[in-house]
Structure 1
Amino acid sequence: MSDLAISSPAEIGLFPRGFLRDSADYILSQQLSDGAIPWFDGGYADPWDHVEAAMGLSIAGEFAAAEKAYRWLADIQLADGSWWAAYKDGEVHNCERRESNFVAYVATGVWHHYLITGDVDFLLRYWVTVEKAVEFVLSLQTEHGEIHWAVDTDGKPKEDALITGCASIYKSLECAINIAHRLGHSRPHWLAGRTALGTALRERPQRFDRTWESKARFSMDWFYPVLTGVVSGSGARARLQKKWDEFVVAGLGCRCVNDEPWVTVAESCELTMALIAAGEMGRAAKLYRGLHRWQDKDGGYWTGYVYRDQAIWPEEKTTWTVGAMLLAADALAGLTPASGLFTSVRLLSDPAEDTERVDRLHQFELSGSQG
C-alpha cells in the first residue's frame, strides 16, 4: 500500500482545472487498439466496467473512442446475446460464467451515447446487439420477477439473484426500452419484465441471496435501488438515511463494505448520483468534492483508500473509477444531455400505443366530419 497526503475538501472545487481532459486522456491511454478498455494496463476487461469507462469517454466528447469501445463489444458478442465475464489480450479470460447484469449494461451505454450525440444511426447500428443482450437477460427471469445472476460455462443458470445486479438490470431495461421505442419497435415483454423485476426488488427480498450469505454488508445493495430508479422520492431519502452512518465516512467517502476501513471512489461517485436522484443535491456535491484528492498526476483515480492505515489500496487506477467520476460530474453539473440518466427515470412511449392513439383520433375526426 502507498502512503497518501490528503488535501482538504475545502481546497478543492467541484472540478479541478483540466478535470475532463485529464480524465478522458487517462481512459484513452488504457484503451487497446481493438477498442477494449481494461481495468488498467495489463489487466482484463469485463463488459460492465468497459461500458462504464466508455460512458466517461462520451461525456468528455471522445465520441470516436467511445464508439470503438461499443464496436468491440458487438464484435465479440456470443450467439445467444451474452458475453463472458472477462477478456484479456484478445482472448476470453474468464469462461466460467456470463453475468446477467454485465450483459444488460450495453443497453445503458448505447442509450447514454445516443442521448449525448443524438446519433440515430448509432442506435440503428447497435440495435441488434442490444436486442440480443436483453433477450438473453430476460430468459433468466423467474416467475417471481428476479433475474438469475449468471449462467455457467455450459449455459446453465446459476439460480440465485443479487440486489445490486438486478437493480443495475432495472436501469438497463429502461434504456433498452427507450432504444426500442426511439427506433419504432414495440417490446411489451421488455416492459413487463422490467415491471416484474421492480416488484421483486421492492416487495420480495426473500428472492435474493438465497444460496449464499447476504450481501447487505456491501454499500451497493444499499444505494443501487435508489441510483437505478427502483426506489424514489421519500422512500429513496429514507433508504439512504437509514444506513448513512454505516457506510459513509465523513470527509472521506463511501465504504465498499460496512466492516472494513476502506472507502472507494467509484462507490462514492455512484452514491453521489443516488443522492441527486433522491433530491439531496447538497449532500451529493459535498461528497463528490472530496473525491478529487484521489486523482494521480496522469489523470487516473486510485480505486480506494484504507483510512485506518492512511494508505491507498489497491495500488490500481481503474478506468471504470474514472468513468464513474465523469458520470457523477455530469449528474452534478449538467455537462451533457445525458446528465439525468442515473438521477431520474424516463420511459419513452410505446410506438404501438402512439399509433393506436392516432388511429382513434383519426376515427373520431372522421365520425365528426360525417356527423
Structure 2
Amino acid sequence: MTETVTTGAVPAVPGIITAEQVIATARSIAAVQETDGGVPWPEGHVDAWNHVECLMAMTAAGLTAEARKGYDWLARHQRADGSWPMKMVRGAAAEANGESNHAAYVAVGVRHELLVTGDEEFARAMWPVVRKALDFVVGLQTARGEIVWERSSAGVPAQYALLTGCSSIYQGLRCGVLLGEHLGEPQPDWELAADRLGHVLAAHPEAFADKSRYSMDWYYPILGGALRGTGARLRLEEEWDTFVVPGLGIRCVSDQPWVTGAESCELALTLDAIGDRDRALAVYRDMQHLRHHDGSYWTGWQFVNKAWFPHEQSAYTAAAVVLAADALSGATPASSLFRAAGRFAVPVIDPDACGCSPASSRT
C-alpha cells in the first residue's frame, strides 16, 4: 500500500515522541488495513468504532488516502437502519447486532476529517451516512435519556445502557449537530437528545450497568464531554490511585495488574481536555514502554508476570497514541476535538430534584 503524507503539520510531543515516530505509528495502522478499507482488530474482525478511531489517527498523521478508503468502507457496509454489524470479518457480519456507540462515532470521525482537511465535498458525501447513523442512535434513547447499547439483528433493543458507550455517544451527537449546522441541515432532535443524555451521564449513575471495574467507566464521561469543571476533577481524583500505575500507564481493570496503551492515551486526552496538561504528559510519557520497534504498540503489559498481554500490537492502540500526540501538540486543526467536546456540557442538576425516574424505561 502506498502511504500519502500531506504537507500539513504532523503531531509531535517534545521529549516524548517525534513527528517521524508518529508517522511510523500511523503507518503501522495502514499496514494492517485490509484491501477493502477495513481496519481490523488483531484477531481479524472490524468494528465501526475502532475502525473510525484508526481513520482519525491516519488523517492526523497525513495518511489521507488510507483514511478515505476506510470511510468508503463505512459507506458501503452501513445497513438500512443506519447501523453496522457489531463485528465484520472479510466484509461479512460475524456478529449481526448493531451497537449504538459504534454508529455514533462515525460523526466524530467525519467532523475530525473535515477539521483536518477542510474538505467540504467529503463532508457532504458522508452526511447521509452520519444522518442515518445518528437517527439509529437516537431511536435507542430511553424516556429518561440514556441510550441502550445495542439493537439485535431482529430489531429488539437491549434492556440496559453502558456508561462508557453513552459517553462516547454524547460526543458523537454533539459532532453530528455541528456537522449539520455546518452543512445547512440543522438537527434539533439530536441536540435535544444530547442534552438529555448529558444530564443522565452527569447526574444518574444508576441509569447504567455497573462496569466500574473498567477504567473507561471512570474517565469516559469527561473524555466524551458530558462532564467538566469541578465534577470532572473530583471524579478523576476519586479513582486515580485505583487505576494509575506510575511509570507504566493505567490499568484496564481495577482488579488486574495489567496496564493498557489505549486506555492510558485516552486518560491523557481526558486530562488534556480539562487543562491538566502536566499529568496528561506524564501519563503519555509513562505508556511509551509499550512502543514496538516498527512504530506499532503492544496492547498491554502484565506488570506482575512481566509479559505483554495480549501478545499483540493493536491498531486501535496505535490510533490512540497518534490522537493523544495531536491533542498534546496542537498540530492539526482537530487537535482540540476532545477539549471542545465539553463546550456544551449540561450543568449538573440535583438528581433528587430533576424529576427523572430512578428506573430505566423505554416508554
Same fold (TM over 0.5): yes
Counterpart code for 1:217: R
Distance 1:186 1:283 in 2: 38
Partner in structure 1 of residue 228 of structure 2: 232
Secondary structure of residue in 1 paired with 2:340: coil
Cα shift at 1:30: 0.5
Distance 1:219 1:283 in 2: 16
Partner in structure 1 of residue 300 of structure 2: 304
What's the CA shift string for 1:125-151, capped at 9, x where partnerless? 000000000000000001100001001
Partner in structure 2 of residue 116 of structure 1: 116
How many residues in Structure 1 have an aligned counterpart in Structure 2?
331
What's the CA shift string for 1:275-302, capped at 9, x where partnerless? 1112210000011012222111221100
Cα shift at 1:346: 6.9
What's the CA shift string for 1:311-335, capped at 9, x where partnerless? 1110111111100000100010111
What is the CA RMSD across the aligned residues, in angstroms?
A: 1.4
- Kindly indicate whether the alpha-carbon contact (under 8 Å) linking 1:47 and 1:103 is maintained by their aligned counterparts in 2: yes
Cα shift at 1:344: 2.4
Partner in structure 1 of residue 320 of structure 2: 324
Cα shift at 1:172: 0.5
Cα shift at 1:17: 6.4
Cα shift at 1:18: 2.1
- Kindly indicate whether the alpha-carbon contact (under 8 Å) linking 1:177 and 1:347 is maintained by their aligned counterparts in 2: no
Secondary structure of residue in 1 paired with 2:88: strand
- Kindly indicate whether the alpha-carbon contact (under 8 Å) linking 1:178 and 1:347 is maintained by their aligned counterparts in 2: no
Cα shift at 1:16: 4.3
Structure 2 matches for 1:125-144, cutoff 5 A?
A: 125-144=125-144
Partner in structure 1 of residue 259 of structure 2: 263
Q: 2:246 aligns with which of 230, 247, 250?
A: 250
Counterpart code for 1:84: P
Counterpart code for 1:308: V
- Kindly indicate whether the alpha-carbon contact (under 8 Å) linking 1:234 and 1:278 is maintained by their aligned counterparts in 2: no
Determine if the alignment matches structure 1 residue 92 to structure 2 residue 88.
Answer: no
Partner in structure 2 of residue 57 of structure 1: 58
Determine if the alignment matches structure 1 residue 277 to structure 2 residue 278.
Answer: no
Distance 1:230 1:169 in 2: 10
> What TM-score, normalized by structure 2, do the two folds share?
0.89
- Shift >4 Å, 4+ stretches: none
| Identity %, equivalent residues | 45
Structure 2 matches for 1:1-371, cutoff 5 A?
A: 13-16=15-18, 18-40=20-42, 43-95=44-96, 97-209=97-209, 214-345=210-341
Partner in structure 1 of residue 350 of structure 2: none
Counterpart code for 1:264: T
> What TM-score, normalized by structure 1, do the two folds share?
0.87
What's the CA shift string for 1:103-156, capped at 9, x where partnerless? 111001010011100111111000000000000000000110000100112010
Gaps of 5+ in 2: 1-13, 345-363
Secondary structure of residue in 1 paired with 2:196: helix
Distance 1:146 1:225 in 2: 13
Distance 1:17 1:337 in 2: 16
Distance 1:93 1:347 in 2: 38
